[in-house]
Chains A and B, each alone.
Chain A
């Protein structure tokens, strides 16, 4: 009975994090982006500096009609948002935020689970693009697929580098094995992982698959109301997951002063900092062209990732 309660509480906590954190990131994006552009951003919703803007957006989305185009593949079309959103919830369950058992569910092959499930998230956009019966959506879906192909590889390679360094594939195990000098050692891998993750989330500057001014939000062109909101939520949940993963793999998760009591705070702080960087990058850089995107992955990120693996291997052999 106690076990059931424990599992239920953990899942509830993960679910709450899943509902709240993406909204926090979204609100921060509203405000940070506005101030980086010399604006104020939302100021009315909720009274104080527009803190409830995303709640208001949610209410608006809920009121909208749920339209399915006549030519669309109905079932696939309706299922796509869930496919895009759920993987991030599943990933959140296995990300450790503190020492001990401060994790939704301990999974032995954590890295494998996380990377595999995150790849499924992109499938949602692909389904949406195919099922919408719209040429822009199809273009967006195919661009998503191409992007997934080229950016999943550097992500896997750099994650493998960390796993090599730690000698384990379990996420809490990796953080346990972490030493401060891993940061300079794995810095190239960390940058590659983070960049490739951004591309996988289709965040600017790697947002050619959704490029609103070019192919009208790509795979999401035909979506309205709550289903569209789910895609948006998936994007922000993806940011949370990516930042948390980068923290856990490359920035030492809960390591820091007073890690025993305040470890979870360190994880959250590092994650929040990375989320800020995600927003910062979005504001600063223009969108990469589709061919530049591909070129960047294959000629820059993958060689860098391979070099990181080589470096990790050499250092590992030398110190053992």
Chain B
């Protein structure tokens, strides 16, 4: 049984190399002393707000105007914590003699954060960008029922959603901008094609 023969702690080292007895003990003391002179790791949370990364999953905000009551979020939610009620309304025809249209009107949109597991599938799956992650996290309640956030509360969270982080400099152009640029380029090309055509027209 190889046990340190004394507290010097030089056992366990390869036999060939000589170590000063007690150097391990001194090293230990040096480590603690060095740590003492360094900055502490403690986050003083309630006094100092934490610096959260921009994509923090704190709470989900609802941008109601974008919601078409397609129910995709509610159906994809793994723990069924999204409640949606809606009814259909008929919209009078836009032009006289046109056909009446029907439209979904949102009656209730609620997320039960006591069930939510913050997977973010609803945010991912929403085709109309109506759900967003917000980094706010201080919404603990003393009554579990209070954790069901109704649409007005979800709307309030929406205002805390930060602007999306800037794209990587080498990233591909966002689709909207690419599409807009394409259209603008087309128009410009058209104008170009028309411009040289004009003097030709005069000639003819």
Which listed segment binds B: A34-42, A70-78, A211-219?
A: A34-42
In the complex, the answer to whether A280 meets B41 with C-beta atoms within 8 Å is no
In the complex, the answer to whether A299 meets B38 with C-beta atoms within 8 Å is no
Q: Which residues of A contact B32 (CB under 8 A)?
A: 36, 280, 283-284
The contact of B44 among A35, A43, A288, A296, by CB within 8 Å, is A43
In the complex, the answer to whether B31 meets A38 with C-beta atoms within 8 Å is no
The contact of B6 among A38, A40, A284, A300, by CB within 8 Å, is A300
The contact of B42 among A39, A283, A296, by CB within 8 Å, is A39
The contact of A284 among B4, B28, B42, by CB within 8 Å, is B28
Contacting residues of chain A (249-305) with chain B, CB-CB under 8 angstroms: 280-281, 283-285, 288, 292, 296, 299-300
Given contacts A38-B41, A40-B44, contact A280 B6 (CB under 8 A): no
Q: Which residues of B contact A32 (CB under 8 A)?
A: 36
Q: Which residues of B contact A300 (CB under 8 A)?
A: 6-7
In the complex, the answer to whether B6 meets A36 with C-beta atoms within 8 Å is no
CB distance from B187 to the nearest CB of A (A): 61
In the complex, the answer to whether B7 meets A40 with C-beta atoms within 8 Å is no
Taken together as a complex, chains A and B put the C-alpha atoms of A40 and B41 apart, in Å, by 8
In the complex, the answer to whether A284 meets B35 with C-beta atoms within 8 Å is no
CB distance from A303 to the nearest CB of B (A): 10
How many chain B residues touch the partner (CB < 8 A)? 17
In the complex, the answer to whether A296 meets B40 with C-beta atoms within 8 Å is no
Q: Is B11 an interface residue (CB 8 A)?
A: no
CB distance from A7 to the nearest CB of B (A): 42
Taken together as a complex, chains A and B put the C-alpha atoms of A142 and B74 apart, in Å, by 65
Taken together as a complex, chains A and B put the C-alpha atoms of A37 and B33 apart, in Å, by 10
Main secondary structure of the interface of A (DSSP, over half): helix
Chain A residue with Cβ nearest B8: A300
Q: Which residues of B contact A299 (CB under 8 A)?
A: 6
Taken together as a complex, chains A and B put the C-alpha atoms of A175 and B199 apart, in Å, by 114
Q: Which residues of B contact A284 (CB under 8 A)?
A: 28-29, 31-32
In the complex, the answer to whether B25 meets A285 with C-beta atoms within 8 Å is yes
Chain A residue with Cβ nearest B43: A40
Interface code B32-68, partner A: CB below 8 Å = 1, 0 otherwise? 1101101011101000000000000000000000000
CB distance from A113 to the nearest CB of B (A): 31
Q: Which residues of B contact A283 (CB under 8 A)?
A: 32
Taken together as a complex, chains A and B put the C-alpha atoms of A285 and B27 apart, in Å, by 11
Given contacts A280-B33, A300-B6, contact A39 B40 (CB under 8 A): yes
Taken together as a complex, chains A and B put the C-alpha atoms of A36 and B32 apart, in Å, by 5
Taken together as a complex, chains A and B put the C-alpha atoms of A283 and B35 apart, in Å, by 11
Q: Which residues of A contact B42 (CB under 8 A)?
A: 38-40
Q: Which residues of A contact B33 (CB under 8 A)?
A: 36, 280
In the complex, the answer to whether A35 meets B29 with C-beta atoms within 8 Å is no
Taken together as a complex, chains A and B put the C-alpha atoms of A283 and B32 apart, in Å, by 7
Taken together as a complex, chains A and B put the C-alpha atoms of A43 and B42 apart, in Å, by 11
Q: Which residues of B contact A35 (CB under 8 A)?
A: 35-36, 40
Given contacts A299-B6, A300-B6, contact A38 B44 (CB under 8 A): no
Q: Which residues of A contact B7 (CB under 8 A)?
A: 288, 292, 296, 300
Taken together as a complex, chains A and B put the C-alpha atoms of A89 and B166 apart, in Å, by 67
Q: Which residues of B contact A288 (CB under 8 A)?
A: 7
The contact of A36 among B3, B25, B35, B41, by CB within 8 Å, is B35
In the complex, the answer to whether B6 meets A37 with C-beta atoms within 8 Å is no
Chain B residue with Cβ nearest A296: B7
Contacting residues of chain A (12-43) with chain B, CB-CB under 8 angstroms: 32, 34-40, 43
Chain B residue with Cβ nearest A291: B3
Q: Knowing that A35-B36, A284-B31 are A-B contacts, what are 19 other residue pairs whose CB atoms are under 8 Å apart, sorted by A's residue number?
A: A35-B40, A36-B32, A36-B33, A36-B35, A36-B36, A38-B38, A38-B40, A39-B42, A40-B40, A40-B42, A280-B29, A284-B28, A284-B29, A284-B32, A285-B28, A292-B4, A296-B7, A299-B6, A300-B6
Q: Mind listing 28 A-B residue pairs with CB under 8 Å?
A: A32-B36, A34-B40, A35-B36, A35-B40, A36-B33, A36-B35, A37-B35, A38-B38, A38-B40, A38-B41, A39-B40, A39-B41, A39-B42, A40-B42, A40-B44, A43-B44, A280-B29, A281-B29, A283-B32, A284-B28, A285-B28, A288-B7, A292-B3, A292-B4, A292-B7, A296-B6, A299-B6, A300-B6
5 A-B pairs with least C-beta separation = A40-B42, A36-B32, A38-B41, A35-B36, A284-B28
